[in-house]
């Protein structure tokens, strides 16, 4: 039995959940998200959502906890929002943004310009003596993670000096260099 799938989801104030033809639409102060939940049955009773599976088939059991987590993330996203922070570690690594264009200098011969989706808000923080930080915020958890992974893929952190784009708080597995 899925422990995640069984737990109910409480709907905070200011968030409306609409269920129609196995499509859950969540509206809140930050935006609107919708998700198709397939064969899983969903019930809205006095401000709590419960997901129940119609049978014990293997694929339905596998999707029970998944769809519960997706709906929970949608509700939290439209009420509070999601954010990720990336840190640029390396000499001369810089980040700046003009609107939805993110300009990255990551040690290549050219700078990388990334056009980010309008749902994601970008903020670049460059303090003297500290590594530049890119802060991404949105109501869609999946989109924030996808954009953060794309930025990290331009220069993933290397294991010897730790140079590259890493998440704030990420612990890198370091390797020893050559021994004489």
- pLDDT number for residue 118: 93
Task: Give the per-residue pLDDT at 38.
Answer: 84
Identical fold for domains 3-79 and 82-167, yes or no, is yes
For the chain, give the mean pLDDT: 92
What would the DSSP string read from start to end of 103-165? EEE-SSSS-EEEEPPTTSEEEEE--TTS--EEEEEES-HHHHHHHHHHHHHHSPPPTTT--EE
* pTM score, whole prediction: 0.89
Is domain 3-79 in CATH 3.40.50.1000, yes or no?
no
**pLDDT at residue 179, rounded to an integer:** 84
* pLDDT at res. 4: 86
| Signed CA dihedral, 96, 153, 72, 41: sign only | positive
- The H or E element spanning position 66 is helix 58-79
Contact indicator for 11, 26 with CB cutoff of 8 Å: no
Ranges of each domain in the chain: 3-79, 82-167
For domain 82-167, give the CATH superfamily: Ribosomal protein L6 (3.90.930.12)
Q: Which residue has the tokens 């990720």?
A: 84
**Which residues contact residue 180 at a Cβ distance below 8 angstroms, ignoring those fewer than 6 apart?**
none
Q: What is the CA radius of gyration of the chain?
A: 21
Would you give the DSSP letter of residue 54? Answer: S
Res 2: pLDDT: 63
* Ranges of the chain whose pLDDT falls below 70: 1-2
């Amino acid at each position: 039995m899925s422990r995640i799938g069984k737990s109910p989801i409480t709907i905070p104030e200011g968030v409306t959940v609409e269920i129609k033809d196995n499509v859950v639409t969540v509206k809140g102060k930050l935006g609107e998200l919708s998700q198709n939940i397939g064969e899983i049955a969903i019930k809205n009773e006095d401000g709590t959502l419960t997901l129940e599976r119609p049978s014990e088939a293997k694929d339905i059991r596998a999707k029970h906890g998944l769809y519960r987590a997706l709906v929970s993330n949608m509700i939290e996203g439209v009420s509070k929002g999601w954010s990720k922070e990336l840190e640029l570690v390396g000499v001369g690594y810089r980040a700046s943004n003009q609107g939805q264009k993110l300009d990255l200098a990551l040690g290549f011969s050219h700078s990388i310009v990334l056009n980010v989706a309008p749902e994601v808000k970008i903020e670049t923080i460059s303090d003297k003596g500290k590594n530049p930080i890119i802060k991404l915020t949105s109501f869609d958890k999946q989109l924030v993670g996808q954009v953060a992974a794309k930025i990290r893929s331009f220069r993933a952190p290397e294991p010897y000096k730790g140079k590259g784009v890493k998440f704030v708080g990420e612990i890198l597995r370091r390797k020893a260099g050559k021994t004489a």
